[in-house]
Amino acid sequence: MKPWKVIERAPAPGGGELVLHQRGEEFAIRVNGRELMSSRQHGSEERMAEVACARLSGKRPKVLIGGLGLGYTVRAALDRLSPGAEVVVSELVPAVVAWNQGVLAPLAGRPLEDPRVKVEPRDVGELLRAAEGHYDAILLDVDNGPEALTQEGNRWLYGERGLASIRRALKPRGVVVVWSASPDQAFASRLKRAGFDTEVVETPARGKGGGPLHTLFIGRL
């Protein structure tokens, strides 16, 4: 088997480093040595978009996706959204945006070139705090689950303050979906306490191809 090669490196604003690895046709982003996203499996990242879009109504939904990763969630959302939709993609590490405009672009069918997409190369927390009753859906996949991995500064997102901020940023009947590599009963309870009708869905990492189960936390206002 071919060895993994490091092809790019970028500092994460809160400390640490994101490293882009390639092995033949495969790509992976690792943060401080731990895999954050890989092109080997992306079924659950796509399912995340599917469950959010299935809960939307209206011709011009506004959707916030954080973060970009390898672009699979953004692509899956675009494939399901109407021509009038707006998709704001928040990405903490500007280099990840550049990688998606370059070597990674073909992986998910060049989603950043879609005219419905607006890329915000900054912390999703900033966008959440600035929004009031703005988004129909918020999709969060910035760590490996509801605990800080990419940067320590993500921790608040999954606590009471973060969930209150998400709630404020959503329109009435809005929906939030949080991706996780594993179940987290405490987070599901917090989501419920924060005022969301909560559903927890388990979904295979490789979609119809199976693989380990990942968890989607769905909160509806």
Ligand X SMILES: C[S@@+](CC[C@H](N)C(=O)[O-])C[C@H]1O[C@@H](n2cnc3c(N)ncnc32)[C@H](O)[C@@H]1O
Contact pick of 8, 19, 20, 36 for ligand X (by CB under 6 A): 36
Question: Taking CB under 6 A as the rule, does residue 123 contact ligand X?
Answer: yes
Tell me the two tokens of residue 63: 């959707």
d(CA 149, CA 58): 35
Contact pick of 43, 67, 162, 174 for ligand X (by CB under 6 A): 67
Question: Taking CB under 6 A as the rule, does residue 150 contact ligand X?
Answer: yes
Nearest to 85 by CA among 50, 115, 108: 115
Instruction: List phi, psi (to 5°) of 88.
Output: -95, 125
Nearer to ligand X, 28 or 200 (CB): 28
Tokens 């400390």 belong to residue: 15
CB of 59 to ligand X, least distance (A): 25
Neighbours of 121 (CB within 10 A): 16
Q: Which stretch binds ligand X (CB under 6 A): 34-42, 52-60, 77-85, 111-119?
A: 34-42
Neighbours of 194 (CB within 10 A): 20
Question: Taking CB under 6 A as the rule, does residue 158 contact ligand X?
Answer: no
All residues at 6 or more sequence positions from 149 whose CB lies less than 8 Å from its CB, including other chains: 31, 34, 36, 143
Beta-bridge partners for 213: 204
Nearer to ligand X, 181 or 192 (CB): 181
Question: Taking CB under 6 A as the rule, does residue 92 contact ligand X?
Answer: yes
Nearer to ligand X, 80 or 192 (CB): 80
d(CA 209, CA 3): 24
Question: Taking CB under 6 A as the rule, does residue 176 contact ligand X?
Answer: no
Nearer to ligand X, 96 or 175 (CB): 96
CB of 178 to ligand X, least distance (A): 11
Provide the binding-site residues for ligand X, judged by CB under 6 A.
18, 36-37, 42, 45, 66-73, 90-93, 96, 123-125, 141-142, 150-151, 154
